[in-house]
Amino acid sequence: MLKRIDKTGPRTDLAKAIESRDAAAKRVDELRGSITRIEDERFEARQRLDATRAAAQDADQDNETDEVIRRLVAGDTGAALLTRTDRKAEAEAGRAIETCNAALNILRPELSDAERSLDLRTSRVRDAAGAVIAAEALDAMIADTERLHGEIEARQSVLSFLHPLISREQKTKVERVLASSHAHVPHPALDQCRTALEALMADASAELPR
């Protein structure tokens, strides 16, 4: 069964903190995706630029010039397109690289800020969750802890009281249990133990307290 969230209170604060955290996480994901896409585009532009320059370096300029002249003489006006380097493709690749670099210079600092914001909002969610636990369960947890401490103290008091009355082997067991306790504070349960001991000393069939 889901816990009802009131309009005000720790759970409302937690819900708002979660919403804010999720928005920050979405922004981080968007920026990372954009950066990855732009880096891929820059890589492809660099490949195009390198390929264009490599093709130019591999070409034999003299032979290429002779071919242009031959085709022009033959009436092929398109032969002028046979240039040493495709300057247009090279320029376009260079512009693409510059555009990608400019975008990355903007987005990377923005991503760093977004990641810091996400860390902060995640911490706020953790704190808000702790506030809910404190509001709804802390009192019960403290009460249970106090009860358990009381039970431990009671048993320690009883074991300490019985220690001089039991055998050496039993003493060793008791001492092992009490080893972590440096001081045995009298506990009300000790009175019950004393009463039971007195009853047993008077009547072997006396019942022990449960």
pLDDT surpassing 70 at residue 48: yes
Q: Each residue of 170-204: pLDDT tens digit? A: 888 888 888 765 555 666 767 877 787 677 677 66
Q: Structure tokens of 105?
A: 């210079």
Q: Name the region of 59 (left: φ>0; alpha: ψ -120 to 50; beta: rest).
A: beta
Tell me, rounded to whole angstroms, the distance of Cα 99 from its chain centroid.
34
What does the pLDDT read at residue 47? 93
pLDDT surpassing 70 at residue 41: yes
In this structure, how many other beta carbons lie within 10 angstroms of the beta carbon of residue 201? 9
What does the pLDDT read at residue 62? 47
Q: Each residue of 84-142: pLDDT tens digit? A: 456 788 889 999 999 999 999 999 999 999 999 999 999 998 889 988 888 888 888 88
Q: Structure tokens of 178?
A: 């009490």
What does the pLDDT read at residue 134? 84
Q: How far apart are CA 140 and CA 133, in angstroms?
A: 10
Please identify which residue in the block is written with the tokens 């996400």: 118
User: pTM score > 0.85 for this model?
Assistant: no
Are the beta carbons of 93 and 46 closer than 8 angstroms?
yes
Domain ranges of the chain: 10-139
Tell me, rounded to whole angstroms, the distance of Cα 113 from its chain centroid.
17
